[in-house]
Amino acid sequence: MDSTTDAKLFKHLMVLNLDVSIWSARKKLNPSDFGGAKLPPEDLASLGSKKICNPEDLRIFGTLKSRAVNMLDRIGVRFLAGWGIPESSADSVIKELKVIHDEFMDAKQNFLSTYDQSVLTWINQHPEWESIIKNSTVDAGYVSSRIGFKWQLFQLVPPKQKFIHDGLKDEVSKLGNTLYDEIAKAAEDAWNKCYSGKDKVSHKAISPLRSMYEKLNGLSFVEPCAAPIASLLKTAFEQIPKRGFIQGADLLMLQGVLALLRDPKTIVEHGKKIIKGRTPEAILKNLVQKDDTACPVSVDSIDLSEPIPVNNFNQQQSTQPIDSFGLW
């Protein structure tokens, strides 16, 4: 990554750190909890933990955290213990996080308002262990301090000193590989959930592919091959009928696209093919043979040692071009 590309990436990339804390409702078991019973020595075995209220009462917090994480995974790429997100998506990301935050805080208030009763109910469900539970209870104020939902959003400004900047630059250089690894995982999940063994699918099956398109398109400034692969997905969507089940050659085309996306190496190599001048339409056509069987995705024909005339890609985009952010 040269200094120009480096500067453009930092200009368009923001970093979001999600900080969600959820009380575990667990305390460490102590030997005294067993009333003097003989236990193995600590170098042989260690005691586990005890639950001091019903874990089901806390499930909502994990659900809401997962919702936030899934949203950030859909839009951003894992980076610096958080997510790198496009600056253009920052407002919508924060808007969604605020919605989840408000639901989280409402759930927290509801939990705290019934906390004491929840502990009593838990004790009543386990009367023979009442003393173990009671000896470990904490007040609602302590619990409140252990449940929180917040985030920090910031933009990176690289330091001028080269030896300080090198460490950050190393992390930035991995962003492309991380992006393609995440796309490959999403494609694998979509294949298993929506496409494997199917001879027809509904339009809902396109939803994960649209999410991959939005992610690649939004993060096209991260790595040059992201934009052409986004254009391949967009072209595929345009060829799918607007109504009815997706089947036959159309389904085989989507399955071929997923086969391509399931391998990070294949993502890069087909992105380079488009940059070098091959049209998305030609690649999609090659995914389906005349006898209506899926054509294996082949990457052997591309010579990765050849220089890439990147201007060819922009010349192909006659409508709604994907912003290159100066990468080509």
Domain boundaries, the chain: 3-33+45-155, 179-316
> What rounded mean pLDDT belongs to the chain?
83
Q: What is the pTM of this model?
A: 0.77
Q: What is the pLDDT of residue 213?
A: 96
Contact 187, 216 (CB under 8 A): no
Residue 284 has pLDDT above 50, yes or no: yes
Angle at 95 between CA 73 and CA 83, to 5 degrees: 30
Q: Torsion angle of alpha carbons 87, 92, 94, 96, nearest 10°?
A: -150
Residue 238 has pLDDT above 90, yes or no: yes
Residue 89, CB-side half-sphere exposure with 13 Å CA sphere: 25
Query: Which residues pair with residue 79 across a beta bridge?
Result: 82
Contact 260, 267 (CB under 8 A): yes
- Element (DSSP H or E) covering residue 278: none
Q: What is the pLDDT of residue 39?
A: 60
Q: What is the pLDDT of residue 20?
A: 97
Instruction: Write the pLDDT tens digit of every residue in 2-16.
Output: 454 566 788 899 999
Locate all alpha helices (DSSP H) within the chain, ordered by sequence: 3-12, 59-75, 90-113, 115-125, 130-134, 140-145, 162-173, 175-190, 207-218, 226-239, 248-261, 264-275, 280-286, 311-316
Q: What do you get for the CA distance between the two ends of the chain, in Å?
A: 13
Residue 280 has pLDDT above 60, yes or no: yes
Share of the chain above pLDDT 70, in %: 77
Q: What are 30's two structure tokens? A: 């102590």
Q: Which amino acid is at 10?
A: F
Name which of 21-35, 133-147, 216-230 the model is least confident about: 21-35
Question: What whole-number distance in Å separates Cα of residue 124 and Cα of residue 117?
Answer: 10
